[in-house]
Structure 1
Amino acid sequence: MDQITLGDSGIRVSRITLGTMTYGDQNTQQDAEHQLDYALANGINFIDTAEMYPVPPRAETVTRTETMLGHWIKKQSRDRFVLASKVAGPRRGMHWIRGGPSGMDRANIRQAVHDSLQRLQTDYLDVLYLHWPERNVPMFGQYQFDPHAELDAEGQAINWVPIQTQLEVLDELVKEGKIRAIGLSNEQPWGLMEFLRIAREQGLPRIAVLQNCYNLMNRGMEFGMTEVLYREGVTLAAYSPLAFGHLTAKYVDDPATPGRVTLFEGYAKRYKKPAVPAAAKAYAELARSHGLTPVQLALSFVYHRWFVGTTIIGATSLAQLQENVAAYQVHLSAEVLAAIEQQHLVMMNPAP
């Protein structure tokens, strides 16, 4: 498996990352360990999790994924893999995480890391992501910035925890050896540039990796963020390359097929947009007309984009994981890539 370096961190990771957000809900401990063992055996050394997993987040399952991973980790040599987790922020209504995080402040970040390390049964995280910005930004299916969300119920400006304060806490954790590198997730160009600017001016840790959504139905990264990644040397970890299963064509072939879209009503609003079914059908037809499976088309497209450093894949079965890993060996022809661009122009970003 090919590898890349995360930003300027010196940490080498595989071009495929194993995502774990189904562990503890759709996957058992045994399922998880089979997937983890398979990943390592096939050169995948980057494992991604979060304190709020599994998804969809619920009070009765929260933190279960990290706990399950911890049972596996304690049986491994820690230097065999690179481990990333994430700190949940406010504004998502998850009162069951630390009483509902009030912000990305020192207390919340430090407590999150302490608890994650305990559950994961390890002394350090290779990468710690801030799971989403504390400040007001469109995310998780929202696509318009709303200035009114800058105000509280009384019409007063909300005091977000300053980015410098967040970086200072992360700096403490790096110096203490609890984390090796830092990343952002679900971030916008302004936020990434601010983190980079403040880190440069104040001598604080630099963002090494950005974890954002990217797939055939959601190519918003290309409108501005890719230039930032290129000029600043930040690695992209692309998540949701199969668009919550839509790009496998399973919902095209059978709209009632079991999956996160059908099992968890009201979840994944990003993929409830009206053009998603038509786009899924169009990309499935494109793939099959060129002798490819929809999975091969969707994954190969993301795997081999010039600005994608590593792609996060998850699965609810070992067979799915095997298929997803095998797709890395598929390289799309110029003809197929041109057809994808034509389809993109006809139906641009149906799932922003």
Structure 2
Amino acid sequence: MKAISCLKYGLSELKLEEVEKPVPRDNEVLLEVHASSATTHNLMIIEGKPFFVRLLDSGLVKPRIKIPGSDISGRVVMVGKDVTKFKPGDEVFGVSTAFGAYAEYTAVPEHELVPKPVNISFEEAAAVPQGSLVALQALRDKGGIQKGQKVLIFGASGGIGSFAVQIAKYFGAEVTGVCSSRNFDMLYTLGADHLIDYTKQDYTKNGQTYDLIFAIAYRSIFDHKRALKPNGVYVSAGGPSVTRIFQDMLIGPMVFKRDGKKLVGGWAVNPNAKDLLFVKELIEAGRIKPVVDRCYPLSETAKALQHYGTGHPGGKVVIAVQHSTKF
């Protein structure tokens, strides 16, 4: 089978190669991958930056993860003897915590997958898992979002932000999105009540305050603190910036606590089937939808990740897999 091989750090080192097709373990399914997506975590482990990533889940000198890719959608072609949820032919999507999604086939534990929404394509489904789960868990679980609250989404047009706008509206919030004006039409379509072009207006100094701020893009937490109401909550989606991590984890909680405001920093996804099934139901009910900025073939995975990292995409960047051989 064909797969993206990551044997050295750097996007330029990614190679499309022939590798051995995996054999599923007893609790795994073998998935014919139809699509995956670009994510910050995958970009970090491929580039080995910032350096602490090499200490946490990659190698010091060369990558430990040989085939990247975590968001996944596809069709089951084989199941292990202990698998009970799926059978060959089932269409599924999810988050592969062992990676391996940038390939024609990959083996995934059954508990990491759920049935694909029936009303979207494989490419759209691959745009859903991590982006939607980060947004859902940050707003609902960490932010405690409530009906009628004023919520600001900083980085509203990206893969996570576009879901955050829709999920906040689902919970009955009044939503202000911050992004560049070129994405305004898309976000109004998704339900945003107000939009601010961060290149033209400093939303932390316009006198508006919010019950909940969810920041996907980087700006100082002290700027966001000014825009919070008393007892407001600021939730950070984390990210590769060492400065941001230092502020979120060490300085911010002490500064926020003095004013009765709450900071939840360094937020990362907790992939689980229960939450993904909830997202699936919202998609099938027409309450939320994935937004795909661009779709690249597997052979152009490096270009997809480069665009994701530097192109300010409006929505998710998807990697589609065309199969050269049949199972």
* TM-score (norm. length: structure 1): 0.28
Structure holding more strand per residue: 2
